[in-house]
Amino acid sequence: MDDNLLFAFSLTLLAGLATGIGSLIAFFASTTNTKFLSLSLGFSAGVMIYVSMIEIFVKAQVALVAELGVRPGNWATVGAFFGGILLIAMIDRFVPKQGNPHEMKKVEDASRPVRNPELLKMGTFTAIAIAIHNFPEGIATFTSALQDPALGIAIAVAIAIHNIPEGIAVSVPVYYATGNKRKAFKLSFLSGLSEPVGALIAFLILMPFLNDIMFGVIFAAVAGIMVFISLDGLLPAAKKYDEGHLSIYGLIGGMALMALSLLLFI
């Protein structure tokens, strides 16, 4: 396999498996470190927003304008950007609240499991819902890493941070439903694997058609997906756990680090 493909798949896999880290935190930490969680979620949002608007959107625009012309290229870029937002918003819209990964939970919520078999269905659905939600993130990480390895690393790190509380979100209700830590960890781990599956689908379906126009459309849609995730999921969750202005400090820190890394690669 080509080294770039292997690198892109590996990054996507590592980002997805971060849900397992969240699951482990849920079972081995007695309390939620709200300061760290708020700071890290804000940091992840800062990375995603900055890189989406400053780097990914611009690259998409340049590619589409070069291929389609100034007016059609700009319209295509904006259309794909909001198309990405619409896609992830529809996924959120059709995922019930109890299964939505943006409905964050604390590890303390797993301290008193109720062994009710009737709740297992709900817990399993939570894992499936998160897997569906993670699917487009896998495509985003893979295509970004394939086009620009340095950019792919930044996106993978941001999504991995974002996936840690998702691991908590799936583990807590599954453990609450079954009282079985192994089952909760397994479902959390499997939900994260949907990201490399998304990468595989992107490779099998999109790669044969990956010309400059397709690249521009995908990149603009990825920018929209990441902005929506940041504004709808990461920042509200960061503010939920916030003490003072830690989430905003994290946001600015993430933007600054992303800006510095992009400058170093010029």
Annotated binding site: 134, 137, 162-163, 166, 195
Question: What gap in Å lies between CA 106 and CA 262, rounded to an integer?
Answer: 34
Question: What gap in Å lies between CA 246 and CA 252, rounded to an integer?
Answer: 10
Question: How many H helices and E strands in the chain?
Answer: 11, 0
Residue ranges of the annotated binding site for Fe(2+) are 134, 137, 163, 166, 195
Residue ranges of the annotated binding site for Zn(2+) are 137, 162, 166
Residue 10 and residue 193 in contact, taking contact as beta carbons nearer than 8 Å: no
Q: 266: Cβ–Cβ under 8 A, 6 or more apart, which residues? A: none
The closest of 88, 76, 94 to 159, measured between CA atoms, is: 88
Task: Name the DSSP letter for residue 30.
Answer: S
Question: What gap in Å lies between CA 174 and CA 164, rounded to an integer?
Answer: 16
